[in-house]
Structure 1
Amino acid sequence: MATITPREDNRGVRIGWQAKIRQKGYPSQSKTFRTKAQAENWAKVTESEMVRGTFIDRKDAESTTLKEALDRYSEEVIPRKKAGNRELGFIHQWAERPIARLSLARIRSKDVVAAISEMESEGKAPKTIKLHLGVLSHLFNVAGSEWGMESLTNPVQKAQGRQPKLPQGRDRRLVGDEEHRLLDACGKAQTPWLLPVVTFAIETGMRAGEMLETKGTTRADGERPIHSTGLLLKNVNIENRTAHLPQTKNGEARTVPLSSRAIEVIQGLPRSMTDRVFDTTYEAIHLSFARACKRAAIEDLRFHDLRHEATSRFFEKGLNPVQVAAITGHKTLQMLKRYTHLKAEDLAILLG
């Protein structure tokens, strides 16, 4: 049975109405409203849900702020995600936004839309915004399915129509003598690892995180360091010319065939005191690569473009989409559709 009582401040001035419900088989529920009518309506709806057996306790969702949820997500979810450390930057930024002060139950699609507008005004690219939203959306899904907050709806999904559209995928390839200039500049870098890493990337199509150690933390406050190890020596089979990747971005292990040039790279590496093939980090290579591009006067080239270059070359060598996907780890053939133009001229010749 519900009881409705007035709430007063320390001066005796009425500031609202509190509804309390005690129902057998359910934890007691209470909530304060500005008007008595609002309190009575909430009590009526809640009691009806209890009678029908459809009531879901909203206390946790109403008392947990997004900031607190982000910390819990960092503690419990990030460590079990293959590329979770990449999401830590997004978590940090969500924790600094006004929306982080709201309880999960209070966050609506309009709040997500406001956050999207903030990010756009800050000059964030559509893909970056999408990645931010992906983290927030997954947090709400986890809160509903694992944290007992079944009453939550996902405000990110409801704001789907306001999410930015992604531009056409990058199609940056090495042109002219860029490969020669790039490798020459890499060979002159202070770190002896840049040239073999870049060459290996072009030969295998591996992601940077699959080749190199990546450091990070699992919490929004910077505690609990984690890292991915990159390619390990024990997972390279020179005789079979393969490199096994037990952990990848999409969560599926794969074994990458190695070209003769890739084998030469491994055999010519400096002696390492660790169990990694490349005794360096993603962060170090990222900086060195940018400097090498500047020395070589190569504009608008990112390290990840080397994966696109490698994938394109696989098609140019005559491999079909299924074979390429087995090497690169693309989860669907649709992801490789952008590369099919490379085969058009060959198909025309076959058609006669």
Structure 2
Amino acid sequence: MATIRERTNKHGKPRYTAEVRLKGYKPQTATFTRLTDAKKWIQDTESAIRDGRHFKTSEAKKHTVAEMIERYLSSAGLTKVQDEHTGLHLRRWNDEIGHMLLADVTADTLTLIKDKLLNETVRTGQKRSPTTTLRYMASLSKVFNTAVKSWGWLEDSPMRNIEKPKAAKGRVRFLDDDERERLAKACKESANPLLYPAFILALSTGMRQAETMNLYWGKAPANPPLEGAWGVVHLEQDCIILHQTKNAEKRRIPLTGLALQLLKDMGKVRRIDSPLIFPSHKDPQKPIDLKQPWLKAIAEAKITGFTWHDIRHTTASYLAMNGASLAEIAEILGHKTLQMVQRYSHLSDSHVSNVLASMNAKILGSV
């Protein structure tokens, strides 16, 4: 026997509490935001109980969300970069529902927090984007799946029944030739002598801001000697080796042109109290914060709607417009899949046309 009770929350939105009662088994209940989800849960639960697959294990009643997250973090072996993303997300979930037993976590509970995340104002003064909220959800979903498949703490993940926010389309903002010249000039004339080489290096390589700021001089040791350092500049090999990246894979980045020359010039007069390429004036063991000089340069160059991360988009866009394939762009930027670089595909239309024209001329020219 199954029942569904409808109620309205304080915001006036409906909630559906489904209950399944079968002889010889404890009643099972769950709450949903959609009636269709409640009906599907009843069908799945009744079928699972009859097949002997449905149970809220004793483990789910013994362990809290906090214990689940702690076990995952202690065994996942996240790199420093991954911890700054996945770890950040999981610590937020821990703050929200860490006290709850796993058996008590429902899709409704998680949906309320999802809505809270979507409506929060972040540092930019705007609401958190759907894409970022999706990342929070994905991080927790991975932990729940591990608890289901590897530990046997749960029968199923409550994240599976949550309606996901629609991710925004990838944003592409890059500098045109005039903007690039104006901004380079403003950076070069900045009172902070590190802004210009940092800008040129980021533009030349497409590295993320954290990757750029956490570079250090010297030959690559087995373990970077400076805590927080992500990569090594090898002037003798004209390259950068990134030890820590967002996808946890080591990456080699060639150095060429102006960026290489600027680093060589900096290497001749490097600071002896810090191995960092861009050390802070206040604490040379930490990377410099270029936010204020950067914002001033942006204003002086009269450029709008452009962030430091958009330098990376600019590099990718220039690569696409100069004939680089999406696979090549993904390799340079350090993306594991082509999905993240599809946003630049329209910029390489001429390259695709040339490739197609070449194939037609060679294969079909004599037909």
Regarding TM over 0.5, the answer is: yes
Counterpart for residue 185 of structure 1: 186
Could you say which residue in structure 1 is the equivalent of 2:131? Answer: 127
Contact 1:144/1:152 (CA < 8 Å) preserved in 2? yes
Q: Give the drift of 1:153.
A: 2.0
Which stretches of structure 1, 4 residues or longer, exceed 6 Å deviation after superposition?
Answer: 52-57
Partner residue in 1 for 2:30: none
The CA distance in 2 between the partners of 1:77 and 1:227, in whole Å, is: 20
126-135 vs 338-347, which moves further: 338-347
241, 249, 252: which one aligns with 2:249: 252
1:198 paired residue number: 199
CA RMSD of aligned residues (A): 3.5
Alpha-carbon distance in 2 for matches of 1:329, 1:77: 21
The residue aligned with 1:266 is: 263
CA-to-aligned-CA distance 1:234-283 (integer Å, 9 cap, x gap)? xx2x3442222233211222211222122112112251333333335567
Query: Taking structure 1 as reference, are residues 251 and 193 closer, same or farther at Cα in structure 2, changes over 3 Å only?
Result: same
Given residue 112 of structure 1, which amino acid in structure 2 is its aligned partner?
Answer: L
SS at match of 1:232: strand
Q: Aligned partner of 1:129: which letter?
A: T
Q: Size of the alignment, in residue pairs?
A: 291
2:113 to 112, 115, 121: 115
The aligned residue for residue 154 of structure 1 is: 157
Return closer, same or farther for 1:79/1:340 CA change in 2, 3 Å cut-off. closer
Instruction: Write out per-residue CA displacement over residues 259-311 of structure 1, whole angstroms, 9 at most, x where no aligned residue.
Output: 21221121122513333333355671355434432443322212211111111
Q: Sort the Cα spacing of 1:125 and 1:337 in 2 relative to 1 into closer, same or farther, 3 A.
A: closer
Distance 1:334 1:94 in 2: 27
The alpha-carbon deviation at position 88 of structure 1 amounts to: 4.1
Letter of the structure 1 residue corresponding to residue 98 of structure 2: A
Contact 1:286 1:303 in 2 (8 A): no
Q: Which of the numbers 138, 143, 148 marks the counterpart of 1:139?
A: 143
Is the CA contact 1:257–1:327 (under 8 Å) kept in the aligned structure 2?
Answer: no
Shift in alpha-carbon separation, 1:90–1:241, aligned structure 2, 3 A:
same
AA aligned to 1:268 is: D
**What residue ranges of structure 1 are gaps of 5+ in the alignment?**
1-36, 44-48, 215-225
1:66 deviates by 2.2
> 1:278 is matched with which residue?
278
Cα displacement (A) at 1:117: 1.6
Contact 1:314 1:324 in 2 (8 A): yes
DSSP-derived class of the 2:345 partner = helix
80 and 295 in structure 1: CA distance in 2 versus 1, 3 angstrom threshold: same
Contact kept? 2:203, 2:314, Cα under 8 Å: yes
Displacement of 1:189: 4.3
Distance 2:102 2:76 in 1: 17
Give me the whole-angstrom Cα distance separating, in 2, the residues matched to 1:58 and 1:227. Answer: 42
Q: Does 1:63 align with 2:56?
A: no
8 Å contact kept, 2:148–2:155: yes
Paired position in structure 2 for 1:24: none
Aligned equivalents of 1:150 and 1:322: distance in 2? 40
Q: Quick one: which of 236, 241, 246 aligns to 2:238?
A: 241
Asked if 2 retains the 8 angstrom alpha-carbon contact of 1:82 and 1:247, the reply is yes
Contact 1:56 1:150 (8 Å CA) reproduced: no
Specify whether residues 74 and 266 from structure 1 end up closer, same or farther in structure 2 by C-alpha distance, changes over 3 A only. Answer: same
Quote how far apart the aligned CAs of 1:213 are. 2.8
Contact 1:231 1:278 in 2 (8 A): no
- The structure-2 alpha-carbon separation of the partners of 1:326 and 1:119, relative to structure 1 and needing over 3 Å to count, comes to closer
1:26 alignment counterpart = none
Residues 332 and 55 of structure 1: CA distance in aligned 2, closer, same or farther (over 3 Å): closer
Q: Work out the CA distance in 2 between the residues paired with 1:95 and 1:167.
A: 26
The structural deviation recorded for 1:317 is 2.5
Question: Which of structures 1 and 2 has the larger relative contact order (alpha carbons within 8 angstroms, sep 6+)?
Answer: 1
2 CA distance for matches of 1:94 and 1:109?
Answer: 14
- Tell me, what secondary structure is at the counterpart of 2:170? coil
Distance, in Å, in 1 between the alignment partners of 2:186 and 2:306 is: 14
Task: Give percent identity, aligned residues only.
Answer: 26
**C-alpha distance in structure 2 between counterparts of 1:124 and 1:251, whole Å:** 25
Partner of 2:123: none
Q: Structure 2: where are the runs of 5+ without partners?
A: 1-20, 28-47, 121-126, 216-225, 281-285, 362-367
Deviation of 1:202 (Å): 0.5
Equivalent residue for 2:312? 307
Distance 1:151 1:186, change over 3 A: same
The answer to whether the Cα contact below 8 Å between 1:61 and 1:104 also exists between their aligned partners in 2 is yes
- The residue aligned with 2:11 is none
Give the match for residue 99 of structure 2: 101
Give the secondary structure class of the aligned counterpart of 1:302. Answer: coil
Change (3 A) 1:210 1:168: same
Structure 1 partner of 2:347: 342
Q: Deviations over 1:199-234 (max 9, x none)?
A: 1011011122322239xxxxxxxxxxx95312223x
Range that drifts further, 120-129 or 70-79:
70-79
How high is the TM-score relative to the length of structure 1? 0.70
